[in-house]
Structure 1
Amino acid sequence: MQLRHLRYFVTLAREQHFAKAAAACGISQPTLSAGLGALEAEFGRRLVERDRRFIGLTPHGEAMLPWAEQILGAVSGMASAVAATTAPLMGEFGLAAIPAALPLVGLLGEALLTQNPGITLAVRSATSRAIERGLHAFEVDAGLTYLDHEPPANVLSVPLYAERYVFLAARGSGFDHHAAVSWEEATRQDLCLLHQGMQYRRILDERLAARGLAVTPRATADSHFALFDMVRSGTFATIVPDGYARLMAGVEWARFLPFDAPEEARRVGLVVVNRDPLGPMARAALAAARALEPAGVQPPF
């Protein structure tokens, strides 16, 4: 079995387009098709449904995909481990973070790059479910996500931050003289929130329901920064993680307020897949996170 054929297969499953997969692999489309054909012939099963275009993986292809991802990931990890024995850690470190954890990226990234000057950091925003899949498919080296609510399976974790909610309104919108806000008052506003496909929103809805409250936002988005721009217009208010209050401290238009009723904080932290042996990138991530853990992240209020 040729590793390059497995790479063609995994890339096609990700791109879901023959031309894009060939370009990602740096080969021609006929070469990609020939490699897939050789893989199918070796296993005696059709792996890809196609009729001039990519339709999807067959059940045999779906069954093979996670194993192919693990094989390629193990080979990559082996190469990194061998290289790390004779030289400093090199290469690109892939970090995926839920939107609520993005204010932690700078802190963790600085620690990681300081300890490993030979690596570069590639950060992407993703849902908690996408992070779990990306970790197990070797698409990213580590994630920043919730540790207690819908936690990813089979991971090692380091808590970095205890998240609480804060209310955000634009200055001049009626909250300039408030020291805090009640949950009831907040839910009466024209709110913009993350959509319900985001874990942050699912947790928020659960916490509101526990207080006998519900919210129907006037607008939704998949990015906190989109919410901030809607609030800045003066029309909307929102509820965000307190990490953004630290990140945006001193922004003139923003009025961040704590809630007047205590709530249970949510742990956010670093996760890597619990594999044996643990790869050098995962070890580097754990070391950087553990260096930050004693200090933690301080609350903004």
Structure 2
Amino acid sequence: MELRQLEYFVKVVEEASFTKAAAALHVAQPGISAQIRKLERELGQELLDRSGRTVRPTEAGEAVLPYARAALGAVSGARQAVEELTGLLRGQVTIGTVTSLGPSIDLPALLAGFHHDHPAVEIGLTADTSDRLLEAVAGGRIDLAVVGLAGEPPPGVGVQIVVDEALVVAVSHDDPLAARTTLALGALADRPIMSLPRGTGLRASVENACAAAGFRPHVAFEAGDPNVLAQLAARGLGVAVVPESVARAHAAQLHTVGFRPALRGVLALAWRTEGPVGPAARAVVRHARAHLPEPATDR
């Protein structure tokens, strides 16, 4: 059994195609097919189902796949460990982030600082919802992510809270709620509200709190950026639930109402704590945790 056979097998599964795998690896397709056939003969089982329009792993292939990935990860980690000991950290890290971070998190500065310290490490950046980012971190597809939290992280994921602030109601100055300074969450049971989409930490916090209060919120508007929600509320289009810092940024156009009891919005760094983690990934987690320490809250 050779490492390249495992590499070819994993890539074909990921691409669901011999042709795409060959293109990604810059190898001739017949070479990939021949090596995987050798691997199948050695194991005595077919690993790939070639009968459909796309290539899929067989039951045996599904069983072999995590071991193949672990073997490739171990070899990559061994190489990077040697490079780390010699002072030349190489590799690639992928960082995920929610769309709106607010003023407290300067992600470009964080990435620039890491690049300055480790110029040979390639950095990738992707944006998504918190739910999908946490799933990707747990699966080892993302090395570090900035996510919204509305509860405990999934197993195998460590977190460090970096933003913890109040969520508030933002309305136009002529809205009936503009006469209030605080309100119980139940006061929104009959009002259409505006919120971030499902899968975000803020939306989960709102829905969990509403469930605890005995109702399901009627979300009339969704936007991935809380600043857009604030602008919609300022135009009199409804009630927005946003972080307090966002409401402050639009204070001239909005009236802010606090929740009683308080409702919190939390952003956190998330990283993998189980499974193989390479030196470059460990380095970016260390850098981020030092760059974005846990905040003092106003609880």
Return 27-36 or 39-48, whichever deviates more. Answer: 27-36
Alignment partner, residue 281 of structure 1: 280
Distance change (3 Å), C-alpha of 1:48 and 1:161? same
Distance 2:275 2:55 in 1: 36
Contact (CA 8 Å) 2:147, 2:267: kept in 1 or not? yes
Distance change (3 Å), C-alpha of 1:65 and 1:145? farther
Distance 1:110 1:66 in 2: 34
**Partner letter of residue 45 of structure 1?**
Q
**Partner letter of residue 190 of structure 1?**
P
Distance 1:43 1:55 in 2: 19
Alignment partner, residue 63 of structure 1: 63
Distance change (3 Å), C-alpha of 1:150 and 1:55? farther
Contact (CA 8 Å) 2:130, 2:199: kept in 1 or not? no
Distance 2:14 2:20 in 1: 10
2:232 is equivalent to residue 231 of structure 1: yes
Contact (CA 8 Å) 1:73, 1:137: kept in 2 or not? no
Residue 212 (structure 1) aligned to one of 200, 211, 214: 214
Shift, 1:81, TM fit: 1.8
Distance change (3 Å), C-alpha of 1:224 and 1:70? farther
1:108-162 deviation line (CA, Å, top 9, x unaligned): 4355345434434322124455445534544222233356724122344333222
Distance change (3 Å), C-alpha of 1:128 and 1:33? farther
Shift, 1:215, TM fit: 1.0
Contact (CA 8 Å) 2:156, 2:272: kept in 1 or not? yes
1:210-258 deviation line (CA, Å, top 9, x unaligned): 122321323556x347964993894455434456x29xx7569974835
Distance 2:29 2:234 in 1: 48
Alignment partner, residue 121 of structure 1: 123
Return 136-145 or 68-77, whichever deviates more. Answer: 136-145
Return 50-59 or 226-235, whichever deviates more. Answer: 226-235
Map 1:132-171; keep pairs closer than 5 Å: 132-145=134-147, 149-168=151-170
2:97 is equivalent to residue 94 of structure 1: no
TM-score, normalised to structure 2, is 0.74
1:162-207 deviation line (CA, Å, top 9, x unaligned): 25423455x6774896675633455544334444455543342111
2:262 is equivalent to residue 263 of structure 1: yes
Map 1:36-47; keep pairs closer than 5 Å: 36-47=36-47
1:79-102 deviation line (CA, Å, top 9, x unaligned): 222222223433432112345768
Distance change (3 Å), C-alpha of 1:120 and 1:190? farther
| Count of equivalent residues | 295
Return 123-132 or 251-260, whichever deviates more. Answer: 251-260
**Partner letter of residue 154 of structure 1?**
G
Secondary structure of the corresponding residue to residue 261 of structure 2: coil
Return 74-83 or 233-242, whichever deviates more. Answer: 233-242
RMSD: 4.1
**Partner letter of residue 168 of structure 2?**
V
Shift, 1:27, TM fit: 3.0
**Partner letter of residue 231 of structure 1?**
L
Distance change (3 Å), C-alpha of 1:150 and 1:69? farther
Structure 1: 5+ residue runs without aligned partners? Answer: none
Distance 2:119 2:296 in 1: 24
Distance 1:32 1:227 in 2: 49
Distance 2:251 2:59 in 1: 55
Distance 1:253 1:50 in 2: 63
Contact (CA 8 Å) 2:193, 2:240: kept in 1 or not? yes
Alignment partner, residue 272 of structure 1: 271
Distance change (3 Å), C-alpha of 1:131 and 1:291? same
Alignment partner, residue 12 of structure 1: 12
**Partner letter of residue 53 of structure 2?**
R
Return 133-142 or 225-234, whichever deviates more. Answer: 225-234
Distance change (3 Å), C-alpha of 1:28 and 1:149? farther
Distance 2:81 2:257 in 1: 46
Contact (CA 8 Å) 2:173, 2:255: kept in 1 or not? no
Contact (CA 8 Å) 2:161, 2:266: kept in 1 or not? yes
Distance 2:43 2:270 in 1: 35
> Percent identity between the aligned chains?
26
Contact (CA 8 Å) 2:178, 2:257: kept in 1 or not? no
TM-score, normalised to structure 1, is 0.74
Return 278-287 or 62-71, whichever deviates more. Answer: 278-287
